[in-house]
Chains A and B, each alone.
Chain A
Amino acid sequence: MKILVCITHVPDTTSKISFTDGNTKFDKTGVQYIIGPYDDYALARAVELKEQHGGSITVLNVGEAETEPTIRKALAIGADEAIRVNAFPSDAFFVAKQIASVAKEGAYDLILMGRESIDFNGGQVHSMVGELMGLPSVSPVMVLDIEGSTAKIQREIEGGKEFMELDMPFIAGCQEPIAEWKIPNMRGIMSARSKPLQVVDPTDDGVQADVEVFELPPAKEAVKLVDPENLDELVNLLKNEAKVL
């Protein structure tokens, strides 16, 4: 089974978000970058599926050279080879076109992604790639089992889940508890250094959604503490001051 796992290179979940250059650029000062947490679930499941069914795992990132340490980490966790499309990931449409173009070349049985990236939180790329390739895409996937050429899937929906079956190839956007995150071991880290990482040029640069400027939410006022002995006052505040009850 040939699996393609698409990963993002994103600020750690505890990062403080700020901007520079008149709020037009993300401020990378002091920010640690990680594999997107949902992409990490996709990768972990790919490693398990490879253990069960054999095959190979390719990781793919659309990004500039700075993402390579993140890609190496994915190789250390268990991917066999990597491809980096050398371009800034400007919008979902652009990224989806790059992924679809690589994926068409590789004839993968399964394309795993995260349910969403944690920078732009679009949750769009998997469906866009699906549409570009004429393939089904399912997200967010909590359970993914393969039997022969068929997959059994549980997808989360509002207030519950959906059970589905479909034939490979297809695309899945993953989330917990699909697999446990895997931590690279020493052998993985050593071998990752010599695994192939191919850099390819982007296909074209149609960008349709362009960020002009960033904004931060207004600072929160200090909390109003209410005495536990005076909960009537709290109800009154919620009703008449905040007007939310």
Chain B
Amino acid sequence: MAALAFVELEEGQAKKSSLEAVSYASEVEGSVTAISFGQMADGELDKIGAAGASKVLHVTDEKLATPNIMAYASAISEAMNKEGSNLLVLAKSSLGDPVAARVAIKTNAAMATNVTELPDTSDGFKVKCSIYTGKAFAITRLSSEKKILGLKKNAISIKEDGGTAEVEAFSPATDDGDFKVQVTNREKATGEILLPEADLVVSGGRGLKGPENWGMIEELAKAIGAATGCSKPVSDMEWRPHHEHVGQTGVKVSPSLYIAVGISGAIQHLAGVNSSKCILVINKDEEAPFFKAADYGVVGDAFEIVPKLTEAIKAQQG
């Protein structure tokens, strides 16, 4: 019996958060089978193996090459049956969430999402889930035999010494009913570090005055390899695209480092960043509420501080 981990491929590469899911499954269950759809780049199999999977069910069916929620849910349920898996682990995402919820119904599994730690199995099976948009946690007992866990980013670190994985071609049964939704187009920023996956994030707020001032934010982000984010008014005014908006009603991030520039730290913004490991706030108002949620702070004018910080970082990188 192996746990199943759904590994999302992004331009052929396993998503980092999916590798976390593989490592998580291997910590819980020992033996892990991964399932992936579409083209896989060279070297990815090694990464998935190192993360803890001994086998990858690889679906190469042309019809399933692009993400399809209903069809992936059917395929994953079939794979769970085939592998005798009682545990499915996946990363939270715009694909993982709906797929997981559908598999839960198909397989009659108990589901927990926003899981932040390994389970406590000393008395049944309990997981810690982030709730109230990061303001609290719920210790949740899953009582069914089958279980599905949706992981929050950074719930576990990725193993690098798991082993090697073999590929097994898998062609799941497809049902016409699963192809009712027609994706006519997909627009995706390419070459950027995706915000929900990013380990480092630099965000700007209304304090930056206008979209023309984002150059220094991008420079800083580039210097450290971070994704860029923003506050809600900034995306409302279309200074930045909607998918960069962080907070209660936007993307929830949990990076190692979140740098907030010219953001006041309204409770709805904090809700999206409060599971960051470390927060640095740059704001000219020392009373800005964000400082209460920060680990490090610089009080001053962002237009002076940000370029100087970028220089200081570059200097120390040598």
Contact = CB atoms under 8 A, between A and B. Distances in A.
Q: Are these two chains actual partners, yes or no?
A: yes
Interface of A: 11, 13-14, 17, 19, 37-38, 92-93, 96, 118-128, 130-132, 134, 136-140, 142, 155-167, 170, 175-177, 208-217, 220-221, 223-228, 231-232, 234-239, 242, 244-245
Contact of A159 (B105, B189, B248, B293): B189
B94 A140 contact: yes
Interface string B192-232: 10111100100000000000000000000000100000000
B183 interface: yes
Given A159-B195, A161-B243, A234-B296, A139 B112 contact: no
A223 B295 contact: yes
B58 to A, nearest CB: 22
B105 to A, nearest CB: 4
Contact of A223 (B112, B126, B291): B291
A136 B70 contact: yes
Contacts of A142: 242
A137 B93 CA distance: 15
Given A208-B110, A208-B143, A158 B243 contact: yes
A224 B296 contact: yes
Contacts of B63: none
B309 A37 contact: no
A13 B248 contact: yes
B88 interface: no
Contacts of A227: 298
A128 B111 CA distance: 11
B175 to A, nearest CB: 10
A176 B126 CA distance: 34
Given A37-B248, A131-B106, A166-B181, A220 B101 contact: no
A152 to B, nearest CB: 8
Interface residue SS majority, chain A: mixed
Interface of B: 69-70, 73, 93-95, 97-102, 104-106, 109-114, 126, 128-144, 177, 180-189, 192, 194-197, 200, 224, 242-243, 248-249, 252, 256-257, 267-268, 271, 274, 277-278, 280-281, 291-300, 304-305, 308-309, 312-313, 315-316
A214 B106 contact: no
Nearest to A226: B298
A128 B101 contact: yes
A124 B129 CA distance: 14
B178 to A, nearest CB: 9
Contact of A161 (B138, B187, B300, B315): B187
Contacts of B315: 232
Contact of A124 (B113, B131, B256, B274): B113
Contacts of A130: 102
Given A19-B136, A160-B188, A215-B128, A127 B98 contact: yes
A213 B139 contact: yes
A38 B312 CA distance: 42
> 6 smallest A-B Cβ distances: which pairs?
A127-B101, A208-B110, A160-B188, A228-B300, A131-B105, A244-B257
A136 B74 CA distance: 13
Given A124-B111, A176-B249, A157 B98 contact: no
Nearest to A236: B316
B140 A217 contact: no
Given A237-B296, A242-B296, 12 more contacts: A93-B105, A93-B111, A121-B132, A134-B177, A136-B180, A140-B94, A160-B186, A177-B242, A208-B109, A210-B143, A220-B293, A228-B300
A225 B297 contact: yes
Contacts of B194: 158-159
Given A155-B94, A244-B257, A223 B141 contact: no
Given A124-B111, A242-B278, A244-B277, A212 B70 contact: no
A163 to B, nearest CB: 4
Contact of B97 (A38, A123, A214): A123
Contacts of B93: 158
Nearest to B284: A228
Nearest to B256: A244
A96 to B, nearest CB: 8
A124 B186 contact: no
A239 B268 CA distance: 29
A200 to B, nearest CB: 22
Contacts of B294: 223
B184 A164 contact: yes
A14 B113 contact: no
B192 A159 contact: yes
